Structure 1
Amino acid sequence: MSIQKATDRANLDQRLPQMPWFVQQFIDYKRPDLSPSTLLEYIRDYESFFGWLRGEGLSVAASNADITLLELETLHMDSIVGYRLHLTTRAENANSRVTVSRKLSALRSLFHYLSQIAEDENFYPLLKRNIMAKVEIKRIHKPKDTAAKLKGKILEDEELLEFVGYIYEGYGTDVEANKQAYYSWQLNRERDACIASLILNSGLRVSEVVNLSVDDVDVNNKLLYVFRKGHNDETFKTPVYFREQSKDDLSLYLSLRQSRYKTPKREKALFIALPNGSKEGKRMTKRAIQEMIIKYAKRFGKPYLTVHKLRHSFATDYYLQNDIYRTKEQLGHASTETTEIYAHLTDKTMSDAIERRLDNEPPQ
């Protein structure tokens, strides 16, 4: 099991008893199909909704666990409209349209289960009236819109190599006057460049990078074995290829991994951090990798660049040389609908169609 999945499962098991019994039943129903991370998001969304119900006096429950089916069954449409307004305008740090859509979708899933699938001892639905069935949730994530937002915020063409090169050399020149920043860069530049290079040449998610162990790397065959998002078999690791450019970066980092970071033999993590004052290194965290990429990106002149946009950068570049199905497999997408983002980013679909048309036209 991946490190992140184990953490999410432990968090889920800790928070689930604070939910009503019917939510616990719903989560158990969903466990075989959804990851602990997704189920944990459901719990957070229900915590938000139930807390709002109690705060508005729409439930007399003393805690979320005490909320009843009858209280959900007798909600009016005005209440759901009020909750949507709360999420978008009244809550602190008002939620984006995408977040609001996700929270409402989580409620729809619960209400659908309670009214259409779950049943009592007399074979009647647990929920007799489903108010969420009346709620229209518009699709927010359209590939074309996502692509438009990414324009100019990813690395393109030579920038993929230039960014890795900047981590190796340019950043040190820029921070030379800052002794602390310069020392940190000297200590970590090979590791940091290797991480950036690996994402830019394989398209791994940051969670997949964090979970990599030394045994998951086959440098000679340019292969990584990763726990992929959406795979419920916790023993299976998917083979993912990386491009030639990362071979030297990986080999260099691996030669330094144990001595540079005082890595104990029992530590199998590929990417290691050595916190100040620590006597031995340990697995890098997701947050540390995210902050590391942002640090270099700002100095590189790409302040919008994030670790996930490195994945988008690889995907856009990879799609230019491959079709949508190979790109989907490389990225580990569940469907080609998500991969369509890169068709819009490159305009490859349109340009290919134009080329085919020109090739088929008779000479004038």
Structure 2
Amino acid sequence: MNIQKGIDRIKLDEKLPAMPWYVQKFIDYKLPDLSPSTLLEYIRDYDTFLSWLRAEGLSTAEANRGVTLEELEKLHMDSITGFRLFLTTKRDGANSRVTISRKLSSLRSLFHYLSQIAEDENFYPLLKRNIMAKVEIKRIHKPKDTAAKLKGKLLEDDELLEFIGYIHEGYGRDIEHNKQALYAYEQNKERDACIASLILNSGLRVSEVVNLNLDDLDLANKLLYVFRKGNNDETFKVPVYFREQAKDELSLYLSIRQQRYRMSKREKALFVALPNGSHEGKRMTKRAIQAMIIKYAKRYGKPSLTVHKLRHSFATDYYLQNDIYKTKEQLGHASTETTEVYAHLTDKTMSEAIERRTDS
């Protein structure tokens, strides 16, 4: 099983007992079709909603697992409006419009299942009245809007190479007076530059990078075999090509990997870390890679740059030389609608290219 999916499946199994029986039934129904990672997000959304119901006195349950179907049936539109307002203004951090839309969609999926699919012993729906059927959820993720938010926050043109070079050398110069930070940097700079280069030269997601094993790499053919998001066949890995630049970085990293990180023979991970106090390297986590890119990005002068924006940076650059269908396949998108973001991101570049052609 995909490493991240395995971790999320364990977390899902841990959290399910705290949910009402009908939520557990819904998760069982969805498990063959959705990844544990997606279902874990559902559980987190339901936990927020059920806790809010209890806090507002809309349920008399002492714990979330005790919230009844009858209490869900008695909800009014004012209740859903109140929940939406709570998500917008809650003290521990207001949710964005995208997050609110996702949470409401999670609830709609649950309520639809309970009212239209699940049955009691007399073949009647489990939920007799579905308040969420009245809730209109507007589409938030418009490619043009997403592109507008990303403009100026990605690496462009020469910056793709400059950022990798900065990880190799520039960062070390910037922290040379911090001995502890410098030691950690010297230990990991080849690996860190390799990860950044691989994403900037292939467009892999961070979860796909985390899941890579040594035997997924075909260095000679510049090819990786990857568990792609949304693919529920746990045995099938998709071939993904990477550029020559990443081949050089991978070769350098592989030359120091075993000696630097001292993995046991059982460790199959391509990218590993040696935690403080540990004697052998272990697979890097998603969080560690995210934190690592943010660390370098801040010093480089791009504080808004994240590991996912490295993928966007590759995609924008790749789209300029290829059509939308090749870009879709390279990135592993389910539809070209998602890939349209890069058409909007490259509008300015394409207009400048036309002007240069006219002048020549």
Q: State the TM-score, normalized to the length of structure 2.
A: 0.95
Deviation at 1:328, TM superposition (A): 0.7
More displaced 10-residue stretch of structure 1: 192-201 or 19-28 = 19-28
> Secondary structure in 1 aligned to 2:72?
helix
AA matched with 2:313? S
Cα distance in 1 for partners of 2:272, 2:26 equals: 38
Residue pair 1:115, 1:129 contacting (<8 A) in 2 also: yes
SS of 1:224's equivalent in the other structure is: strand
User: After superposition, where does 1:133-152 map in structure 2 within 5 Å?
Assistant: 133-152=133-152
Matches of 1:193 and 1:216, distance apart in 2: 19
Q: Aligned to 2:240, what secondary structure does the other structure show?
A: strand
Count of residues in correspondence between the two structures: 355
- Report whether the alignment pairs 1:52 with 2:52: yes
Contact 1:20–1:67 (CA<8 Å) still a contact in 2? yes
* Separation in structure 2 between the aligned mates of residue 131 and residue 286 of structure 1, nearest angstrom: 37
Partner in structure 2 of residue 345 of structure 1:
345
Q: Deviations over 1:111-168 (max 9, x none)?
A: 1111111122222211111111111111111111110011010000111011111111
The answer on whether the counterparts of 1:111 and 1:127 sit within 8 Å (CA) in structure 2 is: yes
For 1:27, the aligned partner's letter is I
Determine if the alignment matches structure 1 residue 82 to structure 2 residue 82: yes
- Cα drift, residue 299 of structure 1: 1.3
Instruction: Give the match for residue 21 of structure 2.
Output: 21
Q: Does 1:72 align with 2:78?
A: no
Tell me by how many angstroms 1:5 deviates. Answer: 0.5
Q: 1:287 is matched with which residue?
A: 287
Measure, in 2, the Cα distance between the counterparts of 1:298 and 1:49.
36
Question: Which one-letter code corresponds to 1:49 in the other structure?
Answer: F
Q: Secondary structure at the match of 1:137?
A: coil
Provide the residue aligned with 1:273 in structure 2. Answer: 273
Q: Which amino acid aligns with 2:207?
A: S
User: Bigger shift: 335-344 or 171-180?
Assistant: 171-180
Residue in structure 2 matched with residue 117 of structure 1 by the alignment: 117
What is the letter of the counterpart of residue 42 of structure 1?
A: Y
Aligned equivalent of 1:234 = 234
RMSD over aligned Cα atoms: 1.6
1:37-65 deviations in Å (ceiling 9; x for gaps): 00001011111111111111111112211
SS where residue 297 of structure 2 aligns? helix
State the secondary structure of the residue aligned to 2:239. strand
Is the CA contact (8 Å cut-off) linking 1:258 and 1:264 kept in structure 2?
A: no
The 5 A counterparts of 1:35-50 are 35-50=35-50
- Map of 2:324 onto structure 1: 324
Q: Does 2:155 align with 1:155?
A: yes
Instruction: Note the C-alpha offset of 1:349.
Output: 11
- Name segments (4+ residues, structure 1) moved above 6 Å: none
Report SS of the residue matched to 1:225: strand
Q: Secondary structure of the equivalent of 1:254?
A: helix
Deviation at 1:92, TM superposition (A): 2.2
Distance between the aligned counterparts of 1:273 and 1:316, measured in 2?
Answer: 30
Question: Distance between the aligned counterparts of 1:163 and 1:206, measured in 2?
Answer: 17
- Asked if structure 2 preserves the Cα contact closer than 8 Å seen for 1:320 and 1:348, the reply is no
SS in structure 1 at match of 2:275: coil
- Contact 1:190/1:253, CA 8 A, preserved across alignment: yes
Which aligned pairs between 1:71-220 and structure 2 lie closer than 5 A?
71-220=71-220
Partners in 2 of 1:36 and 1:19 — Cα distance?
A: 16
Query: 2:308 aligned with 1:298, yes or no?
Result: no
The 8 Å contact of residues 154 and 310 in structure 1, kept in 2 or not, is answered as yes
The offset of 1:351, in angstroms, is: 5.3
Report the Cα distance in structure 2 between the residues aligned to 1:287 and 1:306, rounded to whole angstroms. 12
CA positional deviation for 1:181: 1.7
Alignment partner of 1:58: what SS? coil
Runs of 5+ consecutive residues of structure 1 not aligned to the other structure? 359-364
Deviation, 1:177, is 1.6
CA separation in 2, counterparts of 1:73 and 1:295?
48
Task: Give the aligned partner of residue 362 of structure 1.
Answer: none
What secondary structure, in the 3-state scheme, does the structure 2 residue paired with 1:120 have?
A: coil
Give the CA deviation at 1:20. 1.2
Name the CA distance, whole Å, in 2 between partners of 1:170 and 1:241: 28
Matching of residue 222 in structure 1 with residue 227 in structure 2: no
Q: Hey, what's the Cα distance between the residues in 2 that align with 1:142 and 1:161? A: 30
Does structure 1 residue 10 correspond to structure 2 residue 10?
A: yes
* Residue 250 of structure 2: aligned partner: 250
The letter of the residue matching 1:319 is: Y
Q: 1:222 is matched by which residue type in structure 2?
A: K
In 2: Cα distance, 1:129 partner to 1:307 partner: 43
Q: Percent identity?
A: 81
The alpha-carbon deviation at position 345 of structure 1 amounts to 0.1
SS of the residue 2:256 aligns to: helix
- Offset at residue 288 of structure 1 (A): 1.1
Unpaired segments of 5 or more residues in structure 2? none
1:91 positional shift: 4.2
Scaled by the length of structure 1, the TM-score of the pair is: 0.94
Q: CA deviation at 1:277?
A: 2.1
Indicate the larger mover: 175-184 or 68-77. 175-184
The one-letter code matched in structure 2 to 1:294 is I
